[in-house]
Structure 1
Amino acid sequence: MAANEDQEMELEALRSIYEGDDSFKELGPTCFQYRVGDNGDSKAFLIDISWPETYPDGPPTISMNAFFNNQISPAVKQSILSKLQEQVDANLGTAMTYTLFEFAKDNKEDLMENHQPHSNTNAPGNDITVETASVTATSKKKDKKEQLTKAQKRKLADKIDHKGELPRGWNWVDVIKHLSKTGSNEDD
């Protein structure tokens, strides 16, 4: 019973502390998620913390299995989890969800120091390959467009939206017009 009271108090505290913080999500009454780092940050990661029945006397479950973390290597994830586990061991018996989230925020650079973002800035050879591939892809598209007549190109340009894409259903047959044309021919 005391564990549930502690959980209720911690839940209220978390809600008030993180009110309006987009990085914090309450996934359930005993399950929370926090994004460490900003959106678009290559070193950002998500931490999921779940409370078992015995929490805070028993350790919470900490996970980094969110899809958001797929760009992080298993070794870096394991390193982060082990450092968070050290904090759990030091704070066992007390409400520690806030402490764990803040530890991760304060130590983000250290926790992610071995993370290699999937960008091409670190490997100059990759830049060339990517650029070559994109040039090849665009030249193939241009080849297809060159086969169109001027009239076809004009019609196509009139249909393209601001993203350079054709609207959904642009080549669908208008069933009503089609049937009315077919029906009028049969009557004649």
Structure 2
Amino acid sequence: MTANEDQEMELEALRSIYEGDDRFKELSPTSFQFRIGDHEDSKAFLLDVSWPKTYPDTGPQMSLDAFFNNRLSTATKQYIVDKLQEQVEANLGTAMMYTLFEWAKENQETLMENHQPVTNALMLATNNDASPASGIKKKEKKEQLTKAQKRKLVGRTDNKGELPRGWDWVDVIKQLSKTGGKED
């Protein structure tokens, strides 16, 4: 069989095996993503795999550069790719995507045993309140007004942006009509 026929057969098999599975995503007929672990799991990772034209005689190209993997350290990513590359070399010449995905699922704990979650500066800024000791000052948010509120505010102000005197006073006559006047 030619490489293209092997690829077509493996593609059909992958589609039938992973039909309805939210962990598997076909980006193109030669490029796939497979998530190892659950979304909430800190040890989960997303494996990007693409086939070269000569696949399965040559190994697929694997990457962990997806945004989903931003909490993995570079050393952990390299370790995972190296271990998967060993599996690729053992399976050269055969359809290996299912084998790779299942091996990664079964060995997730081993692959992630030295994993220390990476904390980005962005994650630190959004998750922690800035303390004076840290030297980072948290920027105060301005009150957000709707368009209607802004129009109403502009309609009440003069050319200097100030509200006219007594803008919030209660209409005296209206108030007296409700309460009644002096008894004569």
TM beyond 0.5? yes
**TM-score, normalised on structure 2?**
0.68
Deviation, structure 1 residue 173: 1.4
Q: 1:5 aligns to what SS in structure 2?
A: helix
Separation (CA, whole Å) in 2 of partners of 1:52 and 1:32: 12
2:62 aligned with 1:84: no
2:150 aligned with 1:172: yes
Separation (CA, whole Å) in 1 of partners of 2:81 and 2:23: 19
Q: 1:55 aligns to what SS in structure 2?
A: coil
Change (3 A) 1:32 1:168: farther
Separation (CA, whole Å) in 2 of partners of 1:34 and 1:168: 43
Separation (CA, whole Å) in 2 of partners of 1:29 and 1:60: 13
Moved over 2 A (4+): 130-133, 165-172
Deviation, structure 1 residue 167: 7.3
Q: 1:11 aligns to what SS in structure 2?
A: helix
Aligned residues: 144
Separation (CA, whole Å) in 2 of partners of 1:69 and 1:44: 8
**TM-score, normalised on structure 1?**
0.67
Change (3 A) 1:36 1:167: farther
Counterparts of residues 85-164 of structure 1 (less than 5 Å): 85-118=85-118, 130=128, 133=131
Higher helix share: 1
1:32 maps to amino acid: F
CA contact (8 A) 2:37 2:105 kept: yes
Corresponding residue number in structure 2 for 1:153: none
Change (3 A) 1:173 1:117: same
Separation (CA, whole Å) in 2 of partners of 1:44 and 1:167: 40
1:94 maps to amino acid: T
Change (3 A) 1:39 1:168: farther
Q: RMSD of aligned C-alpha atoms? A: 3.1
Deviation, structure 1 residue 132: 7.2
Separation (CA, whole Å) in 2 of partners of 1:59 and 1:78: 17
Percent sequence identity over matched residues?
65
- State the Cα deviation string for residues 122-167 of structure 1 (Å, max 9, x = none): xxxx9xxx4674xxxxxx97xx9xxxxxxxxxxxxxxxxxxxx967
Separation (CA, whole Å) in 1 of partners of 2:41 and 2:59: 30
CA contact (8 A) 2:72 2:118 kept: no
**Unpaired stretches in structure 1, ≥5 consecutive residues:** 120-125, 134-139, 145-164, 179-188
Separation (CA, whole Å) in 1 of partners of 2:97 and 2:38: 20
Deviation, structure 1 residue 170: 5.5
Corresponding residue number in structure 2 for 1:35: 35
Change (3 A) 1:172 1:39: same
